[in-house]
């Protein structure tokens, strides 16, 4: 079953992740995270399967994150509120998010991809 990769085409990190997957012949379907952002329910499922803190799903280096002053809000908001914020704008979501339906990785670290997605 191919992976699902939520990515933004102009994102350098996403391009590196897709290159790694291509180089390792790992099949994937790409979803444009800004044009088709995951819903609140999808984000909740990804978050629960990832084992990560919800704040790890925020693109903290993004312009939108800074404009909305989310640094302090992320520390105090409930998971429900954070999921609402993330679902409101694909640019707020750290990318790429890669999943096979069971396992989820957020961002790109070659070591993590090697460990989790190396299927060759």
The closest alpha carbon to 30, from 58, 11, 10, 3, belongs to 3
In this predicted structure, the answer to whether residue 73 has a pLDDT above a threshold of 60 is yes
Chain centroid offset of residue 109 CA: 13
The closest alpha carbon to 27, from 36, 35, 18, belongs to 18
In this predicted structure, the answer to whether residue 120 has a pLDDT above a threshold of 90 is no
Domain boundaries, the chain: 3-117
In this predicted structure, the answer to whether residue 87 has a pLDDT above a threshold of 80 is yes
Q: Provide the whole-model pTM.
A: 0.94
**Is the backbone peptide bond immediately before 96 cis, with ω within 30 degrees of 0?**
yes
In this predicted structure, the answer to whether residue 85 has a pLDDT above a threshold of 90 is yes
Write down the pLDDT at residue 1: 77
For residues 49-58, give the mean pLDDT. Answer: 96
Write down the pLDDT at residue 19: 98
CATH topology of domain 3-117: Glutaredoxin (3.40.30)
pLDDT band of 79, cuts 50, 70, 90: very high
pLDDT band of 69, cuts 50, 70, 90: very high
């Amino acid at each position: 079953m191919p992976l699902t990769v939520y990515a933004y085409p102009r994102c350098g990190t996403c391009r590196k992740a897709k290159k790694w997957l291509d180089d390792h012949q790992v099949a994937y379907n790409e979803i444009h995270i800004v044009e088709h952002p995951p819903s609140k329910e999808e984000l909740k499922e990804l978050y629960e399967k990832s084992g990560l803190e919800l704040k790890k799903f925020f693109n903290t280096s993004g312009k939108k994150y800074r404009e909305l002053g989310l640094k302090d809000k992320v520390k105090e908001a409930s998971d429900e509120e954070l999921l609402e914020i993330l679902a409101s704008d694909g640019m707020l979501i750290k990318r790429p998010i890669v999943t096979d339906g069971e396992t989820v990785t957020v961002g790109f670290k070659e070591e993590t991809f090697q460990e989790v997605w190396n299927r060759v």
